[in-house]
A and B are shown apart, each in its own frame.
Chain A
Amino acid sequence: MRLIIFLAGMVFLSGAMAQVLREEISVETMPEHGPNWFIAKSGSGARIFDAESGEMLGLLSLSSRTPAVAPYLPRGEFYAAESYYSRAVHGDRTDIVAIYDYANLSPVAEIEIPNHMARLGVRNHLGLLGNGRHLAVLNMNPGYSVSIVDVVDREFIYEMSTPGCAIILPVAENDFLLVCGDGTLQLSQLDISGFEENRIRSEVFFNVRDDAVFDRTARTGDGWLLITHAGVIHEVSTDDDEIHISEGWSIVAEDESGWRPGGFEFLDVLRASNLLYVAMHEGPVDTHHQAGDEIWVIDLASRRRVHRLKLDDPADHLTLTQETAPKLIVGTQSGSTEIFDALTFRHERTIDGPGVSMYEDF
């Protein structure tokens, strides 16, 4: 009897298995680029998310020492400066610019650069210039210099010394500004081959001892926005070999003294509307890395604050998607990523992931 039951069971199981199709493993490729996508960079790589669905779309595996990643959709590529040791933390050091393709987020080329790369998570330690050809990588050894790489021809051009100046701010087609410790800006203009053709220094416009300009910046419609530790704004732009720096003005009203900007990558500009979003906190001098309890939204044209977004979890980082229905992406002190409608400030979703060091609109 038991034998009959066993055989009947086997027949039933084999019949059931025959009805299930055998599955094969497959590998996704990136879908067509969509609105409100962003990059969340952490120590282990750069994750691409869709802010509208909250879904992760893929990962760029980067060196833990990579300062930032620069996407360039017209060529379907990403550029990252990376630094490796042959034995993880010792052995021969090799610094490279790695090029990743869009479809598979895989490395497709690499260019060796001098082993002087500044290995800090600062967005403006890497800048793809306006022509989409020359990539500038900040070096620190410990003096400053910049490596210029031609990402189209996949070749290192040269290393230019930039003593006392760091923070790469691309302007025009083939130029970039640097912020200098003596309170000036330096404009470097490259020739068509990527060599420095012209170098101009601005007037002194801030004092690093009294009220330093942050090493975190925001791109505006025609240049860059700089903010000091006390909250004074300067907008900078260029016209050929002229550097324009606006008069400074404070986003902190007299009756609100004690409020300061702060965090890490803590500010961005919604360029279509000329609105500044900046993380703010109340604290004394030298609290410039303290996370923001609020995000202030400032209309740069009228110099008026138009909103204060109060946060339960303070903000270390933020960025904006430059879309018609833009999203405000906030990296919190506890490590989560919060998505807000950037115009209504309605909280839309929370995205969990490894601790983010910066976001990039993509």
Chain B
Amino acid sequence: MNANRIMERGWYWVDEQARRGTLALARRLSRRNFLSRLGLMLTGAAALPLLPVARAFAQETSLREIGDPQTCEYWRYCALSGQLCSCCGGSHRSCPPGAEASPITWVGTCRNPLDDREYLISYNDCCGKSACGRCGCHNTEGDKPVYFNSNSSTVLWCFGVEHTSYHCTVALVLGESSQ
């Protein structure tokens, strides 16, 4: 009996603390403020499970690099087949305005001449517009036939986007190939 009474009092204490806390928050914050913070939190949570490819879009590279991303000789493009977004209003890491970045890619391995290390490069297609038509590039280092599509540069990788027409290609460093 005493145990039940102790439990009831315990729950009452929890309820009371919650009530007081809620009232205190309600006095300090407007409802709109609460919703905006909740929305911010949910947006942040949605970004948590993104793939390494998607994270790479937002990161600044810390690599020391050499070369011109508007030329096919740029070291990251060793297995790139497509048109360079860096010539089309984007860069080697960003899509041109209004294009959709495909989250699904093919992956190559390229050597950075400045540190002589091999890096995994994700070739993401930018989609939803006409083909850019500038700076065509067709390198085939490590390229495999289309039946092995994860390493095939021939494949158009506009998947997982609303509009699947091909516009151009970027080259993102995922990390060292030995990692």
On whether the beta carbons of A179 and B147 are closer than 8 Å, the reply is yes
Tally of chain A residues near chain B (CB < 8 A): 31
On whether the beta carbons of A93 and B145 are closer than 8 Å, the reply is no
On whether the beta carbons of A93 and B144 are closer than 8 Å, the reply is no
The answer to whether A287 and B140 touch (CB under 8 A), given A120-B154, A140-B155, A142-B157, is yes
- A245 part of interface (Cβ distance < 8 Å): no
Complexed CA–CA distance, A212 and B145 (Å): 7
Residue with the greatest number of chain A CB neighbours at <10 A, chosen from B138, B144, B148, B162? B148
- B156 part of interface (Cβ distance < 8 Å): yes
CB-contact partner of A164 in B145, B147, B155, under 8 A:
B147
Tally of chain B residues near chain A (CB < 8 A): 24
Residues B96-152 near A (CB distance < 8 A): 104, 128-130, 138, 140-149
On whether the beta carbons of A215 and B155 are closer than 8 Å, the reply is no
CB-contact partner of B147 in A93, A119, A166, under 8 A:
A166
Convert B14-52 into 0s and 1s, putting 1 for each residue whose CB lies closer than 8 angstroms to a CB of A: 000000000000000000000000000000000000000
Complexed CA–CA distance, A267 and B146 (Å): 17
On whether the beta carbons of B156 and A119 are closer than 8 Å, the reply is yes
- B159 part of interface (Cβ distance < 8 Å): yes
Kindly list chain B residues whose C-beta atoms are within 8 Å of the C-beta of A140: 149, 155
Complexed CA–CA distance, A208 and B151 (Å): 10
- B163 part of interface (Cβ distance < 8 Å): yes
On whether the beta carbons of B129 and A89 are closer than 8 Å, the reply is yes
Residue with the greatest number of chain B CB neighbours at <10 A, chosen from A85, A88, A289? A289
Kindly list chain B residues whose C-beta atoms are within 8 Å of the C-beta of A91: 163
Task: Using CB atoms, name the residue of chain A closest to B139.
Answer: A286
On whether the beta carbons of A89 and B159 are closer than 8 Å, the reply is no
The answer to whether A288 and B143 touch (CB under 8 A), given A89-B130, A119-B156, A142-B159, is yes
- A22 part of interface (Cβ distance < 8 Å): no
CB-contact partner of B163 in A90, A119, A120, A144, under 8 A:
A90
- B165 part of interface (Cβ distance < 8 Å): yes
Kindly list chain B residues whose C-beta atoms are within 8 Å of the C-beta of A93: 164
On whether the beta carbons of A286 and B149 are closer than 8 Å, the reply is no
Convert A158-187 into 0s and 1s, putting 1 for each residue whose CB lies closer than 8 angstroms to a CB of B: 000000111100000000001111000000
- A351 part of interface (Cβ distance < 8 Å): no
CB-contact partner of B146 in A90, A141, A166, under 8 A:
A166
Convert A77-95 into 0s and 1s, putting 1 for each residue whose CB lies closer than 8 angstroms to a CB of B: 0000000010011110100
Kindly list chain A residues whose C-beta atoms are within 8 Å of the C-beta of B163: 85, 89-91
Convert B62-98 into 0s and 1s, putting 1 for each residue whose CB lies closer than 8 angstroms to a CB of A: 0000000000000000000000000000000000000
Kindly list chain B residues whose C-beta atoms are within 8 Å of the C-beta of A164: 147
Kindly list chain B residues whose C-beta atoms are within 8 Å of the C-beta of A88: 130
Complexed CA–CA distance, A119 and B145 (Å): 15
On whether the beta carbons of B155 and A89 are closer than 8 Å, the reply is no
The answer to whether A208 and B138 touch (CB under 8 A), given A89-B165, A142-B104, is no
Residues A132-164 near B (CB distance < 8 A): 140-142, 144, 164
- A214 part of interface (Cβ distance < 8 Å): yes
CB-contact partner of A180 in B104, B147, B156, under 8 A:
B147
- A111 part of interface (Cβ distance < 8 Å): no
On whether the beta carbons of A165 and B147 are closer than 8 Å, the reply is yes
Jot down 10 A-B pairs with beta carbons below 8 A, ordered by A. Answer: A89-B163, A90-B162, A90-B165, A119-B156, A120-B154, A140-B149, A142-B155, A144-B149, A179-B147, A289-B143
B interface residue numbers (CB < 8 A to A): 104, 128-130, 138, 140-149, 154-157, 159, 162-165
